[in-house]
Amino acid sequence: MFHIYCPHCCEYREEEEFHAAGQSHIARPLDPDACTDKEWGEFMYFRANPRGIHHELWVHAAGCRKYFNITRDTQTYEIKEVYKVGEKPTVVANAIQSK
């Protein structure tokens, strides 16, 4: 069970208070009507499943109810960093690792 630092509450809380909400940084296309079916399908359904560094959206559901991002190693389950929505991760997979 994860021990997660909520960047809004500024403290570590148990995983039970949080929900995972999928991959981070999937922006809704600004002009959906201009998207092809394929593009819309990619936006809706296609997600990365990396072995290693992954950016995930989580919500402090039983806490402040705010969404935020987690950079997590899917192999070791280490949480490398947390950052707010709108911010960029500082820990990213390097090209060799992600191959």
Partner 1 sequence: MTEKSMTQKNRLQDGGRIDRSKVLAFTYNGKKYTGFEGDTLASALLANGVDIIGRSFKYSRPRGIVAAGAEEPNAIMQIGSTEATQIPNVRATQQSLYSGLVAGSTNGWPSVDNDLMGLVGKVGGKMMPPGFYYKTFMYPKSMWETYESYIRKAAGLGRAPKENDPDIYDKMNQHCDVIIVGAGPAGLAAALTAARAGARVIIADEQNEFGGSLLSSKELLGGKPAAEWVADVVKELSTYDDVLMLPNSQVNGYHDHNFLTIQQHCTDQFADRAPNGQVAQRYHRVRAKWVVLATGAHERPLVYGNNDVPGCMVANAVSTYINRYGVVPGKNLVLMTSNDNAYRTALDWHDAGRNVVAIVDSRKNPHGTFVDAARDRGISIIVGSGVIEAHGSKRVSGVSIAPLNDAGDAVVGPIIKMAADTVATSGGWSPVIHLSCHTGARPVWNEEILGFTPGATYQKQLTAGAINGAFSTAQALSEGVKAASDALSQLGLAKSDVVLPETEVIEEGKAMALFHIPHTKPTSKAPKQFVDYQNDVTASGIELACREGFESIEHVKRYTAMGFGTDQGKLGNINGMAIAAKMLNQTIPQTGTTIFRPNYTPVTFGAIAGRDCGALFDPERYTAMHAWHVEHGAKFEDVGQWKRAWYYPKGNETMQQALDRECLATRKSVGILDASTLGKIDIQGKDAREFLGRVYTNAWAKLPVGKCRYGLMCGEDGMVFDDGVTSCLAENHFLMTTTSGGAARVLSWLEIYHQTEWPELEVYFNSVTDHWSTMTISGPNSRKLLEKLTDSDVSKENMAFMDWKPMTVAGVPARVFRISFTGELSFEINVQANYGLHVWKALFEKGAEFNLTPYGTETMHILRAEKGFIIAGQDTDGSVHPFDLGMSWAVSMQKPFSFIGKRGMQREDCVRENRKQLVGLKTLDPKAVLPEGAQGVLDPKAPIPMPMVGHVTSSYWSANLNRSVAMGFVKGGLDKMGERVFYPLADGRVIEAEICSPVFLDPKGERQNV
Site string for partner 1, 16-55 (x = CB under 8 A): ---x-x-----xx--xxx-x-x--xx-xx-----------
Closest to 55 measured CA to CA, from 27, 29, 34:
27
For 2, phi and psi rounded to 5 degrees? -75, 155
Closest to 25 measured CA to CA, from 73, 62, 57:
57
Question: Does 64 sit near partner 1 (CB under 8 A)?
Answer: no
**How far, in Å, are 8, 43, 53 from residue 91 at the CA level?**
20, 24, 8
Among 47, 62, 78, 98, binds partner 1 (CB under 8 A): 78
List residues binding partner 1 (CB under 8 A): 1-3, 14, 19, 21, 27-28, 31-33, 35, 37, 40-41, 43-44, 57, 59, 61, 65-67, 73, 75-79, 85-86
